[in-house]
Amino acid sequence: MNMTFSACLCMIILSMFPFVLQLGTPVNIITTPPLVYAQSCVNSSSTTLKPLLNTGGLYIFHPTNERSMGQEKICSTPRAQLIIINHFNNTGCSTGCLSASNSTITVLGNNPKPIAFKVSTRDTTVTLGPGHYTVDEPRLSVFYGQVLAPDCSGIISADASPSAAKKCIIINSYSNNVQTWLDKINNIKIQFGYSPPYPFVGNVTQLNFKVSSANTSKDLDLTHIHIAVIKNVTANFNNSNTINNKNYFVTFDNLTASHGIFSLKYQFLQEGAHQVIIKIAARDSEVALASFDIPILLPE
């Protein structure tokens, strides 16, 4: 076949099938050295790339974040540090006192590690990703007040340096206003406390109770609870109509308890010394009565 005929044949084929050249392009042999694409992770402290191909020491990477043809890209997200300090103040506590080892703390946030743990006397460092977070520690006793520092919740930034770490301080303090009533005949101990430690008129006050065995401190299974609050006992005792005037009494019935522990919220509307009377019935035990005092102050 002469050159003139071959050239004419090629021109005829290309004019009839113009796409043949386009389809044939990917199978051309690359004779130049392969390109190496530089790539980094956005907001990431480190990057790991597995190459597509190694040709004589030259590596080919795909310039996108997609995994393709065996390529794997791993971007590690920067971690922040949260230091948690759990403190128990047992001043005034003689029996049933708690410590940091009794509690379990949970951290909710962006992949916290660890997410839940028991703490000791030392500080605990939790690492987590940037964003919203919350530290939670369930109250173990109604007679311990709990205060959490502002940094126990909020937004944390992606800065792993120790100087940028946030510090969550949890303080659990034994309530010094706990009153104890012993029923030696029935071997029952009833404890009473309230929070806040200085109740004011108009504020909601939580009345806390715990019923247990007097000699073993074992929680009792209560079958009936009845509470009466006598308003302003000081004024009522000077009034001969105290017993007959129902306006001086507020009663609560059909309360339930878990392991002998129960609480009641009440809003005191008068200042002065109030009296809380409780009547309980425990399983396999006689009925027990107890009386406690609670002072109510006027707000400043």
pLDDT tens readout for residues 5-62: 554 545 544 455 454 444 444 444 444 444 444 344 444 444 445 555 555 555 455 5
Q: CA angle at residue 260 from 257 to 266, to 5 degrees?
A: 55
Phi and psi angles of residue 46, each rounded to the nearest 5 degrees, phi first: -155, 155
Compute φ and ψ for 26, nearest 5 degrees: -65, -20
Nearest-angstrom CA–CA distance, 71 and 57: 17
What's the mean pLDDT when you consider all of the chain?
75
pLDDT at residue 113, rounded to an integer? 93
List, in order, residues 6 or more apart from 116 with CB less than 8 Å away.
104, 105, 106, 107
Supply the DSSP string of 71-126, one letter for each residue: -EEEEEPP-EEEEEEEEEE-TT--SS---GGG-EEEEEEEEEESSEEE--SS-EEE
Q: What are the Cα distances from residue 299, in Å, to 95, 270, 276, 295?
A: 34, 11, 21, 13
Task: Evaluate if pTM is beyond 0.85.
Answer: no
* Max Cα-Cα span within the chain: 137
Q: Which of 132, 92, 87, 125 is nearest to 111 (CA)?
A: 132
pLDDT at residue 34 in the model:
44
55-86, pLDDT tens digit by residue?
555 545 555 544 444 444 555 567 899 999 99
